[in-house]
């Protein structure tokens, strides 16, 4: 309880006490007793009640979230041009009174849900799109009274600004904006843009009437039953088409996997064949190189042997003899054939044999 309310409460008690004093004085007078004391008490309570009532009528407390419009019987305009600011304020008792207005944020909701908005029942906004489809819009607007325009709001709208200003403005602007878009745009690609345009236009209109538009919220958009059924059928068809597309893609992927597997097997066969061919080529090359090296070595060896034979003709005979078995004592040779090797001159021991040392 603020000071002004407390003084008004006390002044009420003072008036009750005054009326009690009146009754008491009447009773004392009816009994023929001295009423001087009673009359004195009566006058004191009367003066106190008048003073407290005057103070109470002239003292006003304005809360921080409100502003006061002073209705004045002494002003040529009938009101004060400046609103009362928060705090304890004074007015002319019995000639002025104050009407307070909130300046905090207020919300006005229009919804299809029965208990969500200011109006009970379906209070959604019916609108038609550019292509003739009927839609139902749920919306909320958050606004506040401009503290500098409180007096003007009182003069123009008084306490009817919510129902007579905010409500019709919102409904009218939404209908105008929706009529500029197709139904597909309203519910998808252009919804944000449309809500932004509604907010901008609503801010201009409210500002012209002393209100500040804080936020506009497009809560929900619903369709007529016929259009909702067609949308559902379209969505079902799109889902079926998408499912068929997925099936086709799955089959394509399976076919691609089979193709890649076959291609991999073929590539493996080719790689193995190439590896075998390379191995054969390398083997043949190595063998050929080995043969060449062997032939070169043999040729070189033969060259060395030939050089050795040229220097010592009996070396060949020596090698022949050393290759004979060590146990041979006698070797028979035909006497009518020439010797393959040149033998040294030996004494003839007889025809047909040569002694071997």
On whether the pTM is more than 0.75, the answer is no
Q: Rounded to an integer, what distance in angstroms lies between the CA atom of residue 98 and that of residue 80? A: 10
Hey, what are 315's tokens? Answer: 């070396």
* Range 95-118 average pLDDT: 90
> What per-residue confidence (pLDDT) applies to 356?
46
pLDDT over 60 at 224, yes or no? yes
Helix axes of 167-178 and 191-207: crossing angle, nearest 10 degrees:
140
pLDDT of residue 236: 57
* Residue extents of the structural domains in the chain: 3-100, 106-223, 226-311, 315-355
Considering only 151-155, 168-172, 323-327, which range has the smallest mean pLDDT? 323-327
DSSP state of 114: T
Strand partners, 125: 137
Rounded Cα distance between 346 and 291, Å, is 44
What does the angle CA 244 – CA 245 – CA 248 come to, to the nearest 5 degrees? Answer: 90
Among 186-200, 243-257, 264-278, name the most confident range. 186-200
**What is the per-residue pLDDT for 97?**
92
CA distance 206 to 272: 85
How far apart (Å, rounded) are the C-alpha atoms in residues 140 and 340? 132
Q: What is the largest CA-CA distance in the chain?
A: 212
Separation of first and last alpha carbons in the chain: 157
Cβ–Cβ < 8 Å for 167, 202: no
Structure tokens at 287: 């063998």
Of 157-161, 192-196, 210-214, 295-299, give the lowest mean pLDDT range.
Answer: 295-299
For the stretch 132-169, pLDDT in tens is 888 899 999 999 999 999 999 999 999 999 999 999 99
What fold does the segment set 106-223 form as a domain?
Tetrahydropterin Synthase; Chain A (3.30.479)
pLDDT at 109: 94
| Structure confidence at residue 175 (pLDDT) | 94
pLDDT at residue 307 is higher than 80: no
Nearest to 140 by CA among 180, 107, 173, 115: 107
Please check whether residue 129 is in contact with residue 178, taking contact to mean a CB–CB distance below 8 angstroms: yes
Whose CA is closest to 87, among 3, 207, 183? 3
């Amino acid at each position: 309880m603020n000071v002004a309310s407390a003084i008004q409460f006390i002044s009420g008690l003072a008036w009750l006490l005054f009326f009690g004093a009146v009754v008491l004085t009447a009773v004392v007078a009816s009994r023929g007793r001295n009423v001087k004391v009673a009359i004195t008490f009566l006058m004191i309570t009367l003066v106190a009640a008048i003073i407290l009532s005057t103070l109470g009528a002239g003292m006003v407390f304005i809360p921080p979230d409100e502003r006061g419009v002073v209705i004045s019987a002494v002003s040529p305009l009938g009101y004060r041009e400046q609103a009362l600011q928060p705090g304890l304020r004074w007015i002319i008792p019995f000639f002025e009174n104050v009407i307070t207005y909130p300046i905090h944020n207020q919300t006005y909701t229009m919804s299809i849900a029965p208990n969500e908005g200011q109006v009970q029942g379906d209070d959604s906004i019916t609108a038609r799109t550019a292509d003739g489809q009927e839609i139902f819009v749920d919306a909320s607007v958050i606004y506040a009274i401009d503290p500098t325009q409180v007096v003007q709001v009182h003069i123009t709208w008084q306490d009817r600004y919510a129902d007579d200003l905010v409500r019709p403005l919102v409904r009218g602007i939404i209908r105008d904006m929706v009529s500029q878009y197709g139904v597909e745009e309203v519910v998808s690609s252009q919804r944000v843009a449309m809500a932004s345009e509604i907010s901008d236009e609503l801010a201009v209109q409210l500002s012209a009437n002393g209100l500040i538009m804080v936020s506009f919220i497009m809560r929900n958009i619903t369709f007529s039953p016929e259009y909702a059924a067609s949308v559902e059928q379209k969505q079902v068809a799109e889902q079926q088409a998408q499912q068929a597309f997925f099936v086709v893609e799955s089959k394509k992927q399976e076919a691609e996997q089979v193709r890649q597997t076959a291609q991999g097997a073929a590539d493996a066969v080719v790689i193995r064949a190439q590896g075998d061919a390379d191995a054969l080529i390398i083997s043949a090359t190595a063998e050929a190189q080995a043969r060449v090296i062997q032939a070169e070595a043999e040729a070189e060896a033969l060259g060395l042997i030939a050089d050795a034979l040229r220097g010592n003709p009996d070396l060949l005979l020596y090698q022949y003899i050393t290759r004979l078995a060590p146990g041979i004592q006698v070797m028979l040779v035909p006497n009518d054939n020439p010797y393959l090797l040149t033998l040294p001159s030996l004494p003839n021991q007889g025809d047909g044999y040569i002694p071997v040392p």
